[in-house]
Homo-oligomer: A and B are copies of this chain.
Amino acid sequence: MTAARKLLTLEQGFTMHRGGVLAAPTLAYETWGVLNAERDNAILIFTGLSPSAHASSSALDPSAGWWEDMIGSGLPLDTDRYFVICVNSLGSCFGSTGPASVNPDTGEVYRLSFPVLTLEDVADTAWEVVKHLGVDVLDSVVGCSMGGMTGLAFCARHPGKARAFVSISSATRALPFSIAVRSLQREMIRTDPNWDNGNYSKDSSPITGQRLARKLGMITYRSPQEWIQRFGRERMTAEGRPGDPFQIEFSVESYLESHALKFTGQFDPNCYLYLSHASDLFDLAEHGGSLEAGFKRMHLERVLVIGVTTDILFPVHQQRDLAAGFEAAGHGTRYVELECIRGHDSFLVDMDAFRPVMCSFFDSCA
């Protein structure tokens, strides 16, 4: 925990969208820039599944954040003009309460006794943080990947509380391909004997299942086209593990291995299961009975939808549907389709493509 990370505990408790109550959940968040006197310059960022609230560096925590090149002085989310807030999702494990936290009612770690988590819960608890910071109406909500769905939940449940919405590589709801991928990732963790029905210890956690799940994640986060350019059929130098004819041979296998090793140990397995499941559950159509009704619930002055043509997990036809849905509901919508080669992860790694689009929308980077 760094000095940049602040905590808010909802002492009054929090009732979950699908039932169950958290006695006194904590939300971890970071902010950049200053709230102006009119309190109308705040931007709330909803993250994808795995990031923490540390979206960017600051004087209190100079380490690079996960969106370092997007937030700061002279950057698209310009901290000279905007007050930027990022909350670690409820259910995660970077300071916010989740399945890895102690249940104050029992003194035990929640594990699978944590109630079903939904993105509505993630949205509503983040809104508590925003209000706590003295903001009544947000300038904008920005949501990436899962965070885009959280943003839809926010806009449908708190109409008028944000004037603008930016959806990046997201969807109105998960399609069966994405559900299948995430379900299989969860099964990889759940079938690791070390998972032990969620009761693993720190010294014996399901890292094998996590490693497999992360590799499948990377396969769907990047694009086949990128890997053709980057790896082709390039091979590693043989390291000779006798007796195992299936050792890592191709560069792409080594790449997946190093990414997977970085991830395991960082992220709590039960938290991963809950957040992954929440992504499958979300459906904007549950807000009013149809997608159309869901979009109509929102009160937005301006919308930006960004999609990437090589995205496998949140394919570009879902981006077009999102933009069309906003447009049909009367929200002024700008749709930008980027031909980045790095698939779903492009918003994290292809800043040269995303920065101009975001600068234009936020009238920044002057």
Residues of A within 8 A of B (CB): 112, 116, 173-177, 179-181, 183-184, 186-188, 190-191, 193, 197, 208, 212, 215-216, 218-219, 224, 227-228, 230-233, 243-246, 248-253, 256, 273-274, 277, 280, 283, 315
**At the interface, is chain A mostly helix, strand, loop or mixed?**
helix
Q: Among the listed B179, B184, B212, B256, which residue makes an inter-chain contact with A191, where contact means beta carbons less than 8 Å apart?
A: B212
A216 to B216, CA, bound (A): 9
Q: Is the CB of A112 within 8 A of B244?
A: yes
Q: Is the CB of A212 within 8 A of B227?
A: no
Q: Is the CB of B246 within 8 A of A176?
A: no
Q: Is the CB of B176 within 8 A of A232?
A: yes
A-B contact pairs, 12 of them (CB 8 A): A175-B228, A176-B227, A177-B224, A177-B228, A179-B253, A180-B227, A183-B248, A183-B250, A184-B212, A184-B256, A188-B212, A246-B277
The residue in chain B whose Cβ has the minimal distance to the Cβ of A234 is: B176
Q: How often does this chain occur in the complex, in copies?
A: 2
Q: A116-B245, A208-B191, A243-B112 are in contact. Are A227 and B175 (CB under 8 A)?
A: yes
Q: Among the listed B197, B208, B283, which residue makes an inter-chain contact with A244, where contact means beta carbons less than 8 Å apart?
A: B197
Q: Among the listed B176, B228, B244, B273, which residue makes an inter-chain contact with A231, where contact means beta carbons less than 8 Å apart?
A: B176
A276 to B4, CA, bound (A): 48
Contacts of A230 in B (CB 8 A): 176
The residue in chain B whose Cβ has the minimal distance to the Cβ of A277 is: B246
The residue in chain B whose Cβ has the minimal distance to the Cβ of A232 is: B176
Q: Is the CB of B245 within 8 A of A112?
A: yes
The residue in chain B whose Cβ has the minimal distance to the Cβ of A285 is: B233
Contacts of A112 in B (CB 8 A): 243-245
A250 to B180, CA, bound (A): 9
A277 to B232, CA, bound (A): 16
Say how far A363's CB is from chain B's closest CB, in angstroms. Answer: 37
The residue in chain B whose Cβ has the minimal distance to the Cβ of A174 is: B233
Among all A-B residue pairs, the 10 with the closest Cβ atoms: A177-B224, A176-B227, A176-B252, A176-B231, A183-B253, A191-B208, A184-B215, A180-B252, A179-B250, A180-B219
A169 to B182, CA, bound (A): 27
Say how far A114's CB is from chain B's closest CB, in angstroms. Answer: 8
Q: Among the listed B116, B187, B280, which residue makes an inter-chain contact with A215, where contact means beta carbons less than 8 Å apart?
A: B187
